[in-house]
Amino acid sequence: MKTLKEKSTPGRTGVMPPQQTVDTQENIPQRFLRKNMFLPELSETDVVRHYTALSRLNYGVDTGFYPLGSCTMKYNPKINEDIARMEGFTSSHPLSPQDNCQGSLEVMYELQEMLAEITGMDAFTLQPSAGAHGELTGIMIVKAYYKDRGEERKKIIVPDSSHGTNPATAGYCGYEVAVIKSDEEGDVDLGELKAAMSEDVACLMLTNPNTLGLFDKNICEITKIVHGKGGLVYYDGANMNAIVGKARPGDMGYDIVHINLHKTFSTPHGGGGPGSGPVGVKKHLRDYLPSPIVSKNGEKYSLDYNLPHSIGQVRAFYGSFGVILRAYAYILALGAQGLEDVSEQAVLNANYLKEKLKEFFDLPFDRVCMHEFVLSGRRQAHMNGVHTLNIAKRLLDYGVHAPTIYFPMIVEEAIMIEPTETESKTTLDEFIEAMKKIATECNETPDIVKSAPHNTPVKKLDDTLAARKPSLTWNMTR
């Protein structure tokens, strides 16, 4: 596809700017003026067609299958977008008097209550901007809690299958990170946990199902071990899409949980935003939440700053309100039974793919999975030198976005697949056929896979050049 510069035709214009009334040479310092600057000469039609063509090169969940493990990239009902754009919400200013924005406060209050019921927590804040921000908020609460108790706990435990943000958050908050291994079934190794657990441990950070897509059957024993030494248990909510309506972190013994509204509750994400990572806590931690939260007194809603031990605000105002609205609409539309159906279908889809593909790729943990599962391309790598990255790039030629690869790191040549509940059996079967064909190519024509992609606008790129020698400017001269 040609660039605007390449499409430029001398003398062609789309918009006639007003006559210049300022002498730029005299009024703008020379150091700010570009020398020999070239601007493309194009008609309005040329420009519109160019950017429309560019938009068609984008790949997203609205254009095709997006099986990113651990990310829950599912279809977002468009009615949620309409609700988020309602004038009564978009015209409301966060500094408006509370009496003038009762509707917005009601939405926030009801979402807090819904999330508390869904997770088994007692109170929620909607402030955090994303999952990692929710983690930061949660661990700040942990730190404040022990400070008030006069305890100087120095360690946080994370399993070796944890999201990378877990140890990063713990380290950022000044804790030592103790990593414990998974057992042969992919669960937390209870022996290692018992050995690592002491009164110096502030918290265990653990998602369930874990990042292998497996529900840890020992979860109640795990939380009991941590609580036995006075520690807290933190739930990373990235995988909530598997258990909504079926199981609650609060009932498993968790003290703190964050939820990715932009994953579990159907709001768009990717490309830097938007996102939302509400944090819920049990009642003994309620007063540590960021202030304010929304409370209800009779029929009136208000911002409640009465949180004596609050860690303070973690972002401006009250949260990503547009994302909150979308999640609120999604929960209301589905209801309790609908949310349960979502989890069931997500788990069914993942197990269907797992069973169909395990013959063609290695399956490190051959047991019933939840919403996602992890294959391994080690067989292909060892036999013909075709690595998981090559397989992912080859999938692009079949019109499918690649799944998550090389994560979790405890699986060699990992291929992490999450179909979500919104994909049909037809789509899943097409994905299965593409993966089977690639598995055959890895054996019979490995060079085709190694040199992929072949059918995309941009072909195989240098894996490290963009990171080591980035080009951040565009030469606008002829």
* pLDDT given for residue 477 in this prediction: 46
Average pLDDT, stretch 58-83?
Answer: 89
Class of residue 448 by CB neighbours under 10 A (exposed 0-12, middle 13-18, buried 19+): middle
Residue 60 to residue 282: CA distance in whole angstroms: 37
* Residue spans of beta strands (DSSP E) within 293-379: 293-297, 300-304, 373-376
**The residue to which tokens 């109640």 are assigned:** 220
* pLDDT at 312 exceeding the cut of 90: yes
* In the chain, where the domains are located: 4-55, 78-334, 337-465
* pLDDT at 172 exceeding the cut of 60: yes
Residue 11 to residue 60: CA distance in whole angstroms: 37
Q: Which residue, among 111, 105, 109, has the nearest Cα to 88 in the 3D structure?
A: 105
Q: What is the fold of 337-465?
A: Aspartate Aminotransferase, domain 1 (3.90.1150)
Cβ neighbours of residue 99 closer than 8 Å, sequence gap 6 or more = none
Beta pairing partners, 188 = 182
pLDDT digits (tens, 9 = 90+) for 424-476: 999 999 999 999 999 999 999 999 999 999 999 888 888 788 788 877 665 54
Segments in 385-453 forming alpha helices (H): 388-397, 425-444, 446-450
CATH architecture of 78-334: 3-Layer(aba) Sandwich (3.40)
Average pLDDT, stretch 244-271?
Answer: 91
Q: What is the DSSP string of 67-89?
A: -BTTT------HHHHHHHT-HHH
* pLDDT given for residue 449 in this prediction: 98
Higher pLDDT, 14 or 388: 388
Structure tokens at 391: 């397989």
Mean pLDDT of the chain: 93
**The residue to which tokens 């040329």 are assigned:** 46
Cβ neighbours of residue 300 closer than 8 Å, sequence gap 6 or more = 102
pLDDT more than 70, % of the chain: 96
Residue 87 is which amino acid?
Answer: E
Tallying the residues shown for the chain, one arrives at 478
Lowest average pLDDT, out of 270-279, 286-295, 422-431, goes to 270-279
* pLDDT at 478 exceeding the cut of 50: no
* pLDDT given for residue 25 in this prediction: 62
Instruction: Compute φ and ψ for 47, nearest 5 degrees.
Output: -65, -45
* pLDDT given for residue 461 in this prediction: 82
Which 3 state secondary structure label does DSSP give 258? strand
pLDDT confidence tier of residue 37, bands split at 50, 70 and 90: confident
